Amino acid sequence: MAVIKANSSDVDLLARLMRAEAEGEGEQGMMMVGNVGVNRILGNCLDFKNIRNMNDMVYQSPGGFEATQKGYFYQRARERDRRLAQRAINGERTWPANNALWFFRPQGDCPATWYNQANSGRFKNHCFFQPTQEDCPSVF
């Protein structure tokens, strides 16, 4: 059962985002991007207040995803991407992104915090950051 409302266009949009942001990090990395996206819709907190649907989340500006803002959000979703997106929409979570609202690719080590949010871990090139449960209870 889905943890957020999503139709087939929403699944496709999330799948495209996951591919654009993390295709080079394999299915697990793509799944983590999906987790962050779903968490932003669930959260209604911090930088993500009033992000209520897939379109709001994917195209949020400022504060959204680099892929949509820097022009590499153009590839179609493949069937495997859609399956991964549906898994994220259904609530499957992958550490360290299970409660994360942010990720980025640093030049070196992951900082302990980013915008006052704790580092929850690293996967390949990306560091993930999660809010406190007090700040964003809906992502926990």
Residue 136, domain member (yes or no): no
Residue 56, domain member (yes or no): yes
Residue 71, domain member (yes or no): yes
Average pLDDT, the chain: 95
The strand pair at 113-114 and 117-123 is best described as: antiparallel
Residue 129, domain member (yes or no): no
Q: Which H helix or E strand runs over 11?
A: helix 8-22
Residue 50, domain member (yes or no): yes
Check which CATH number belongs to the domain holding 12 and give it: 1.10.10
DSSP string, 16-68: HHHHHHHGGGHHHHHHHHHHHHHHHHHH-SGGGTT--SHHHHHT-TTTS-HHH
Residue 118, domain member (yes or no): no
Question: pLDDT confidence of 69, banded at 50, 70, 90?
Answer: confident
Pull the structure tokens for residue 1. Answer: 């059962």
Number of H helices, E strands in the chain: 5, 4
Q: Is the pLDDT of residue 127 over 90?
A: yes
Q: Is the pLDDT of residue 62 over 90?
A: no
Would you state the pLDDT for residue 30?
A: 98
Q: Is the pLDDT of residue 120 over 90?
A: yes
Residue 76, domain member (yes or no): yes
Q: What is the pLDDT of residues 89-118, one digit of tens each?
A: 999 999 999 999 999 999 999 999 998 999
Would you state the pLDDT for residue 72?
A: 82
Q: Structural domain tally of the chain?
A: 1
In which domain, by residue range, is 31 found? Answer: 8-98
Quote the percentage of the chain above a pLDDT of 70. Answer: 100
Angle at 33 between CA 31 and CA 35, to 5 degrees: 70
Q: How many CB atoms lie within 10 A of CB 134?
A: 8
- Nearest-10 Cα torsion for 40, 43, 47, 49: 110
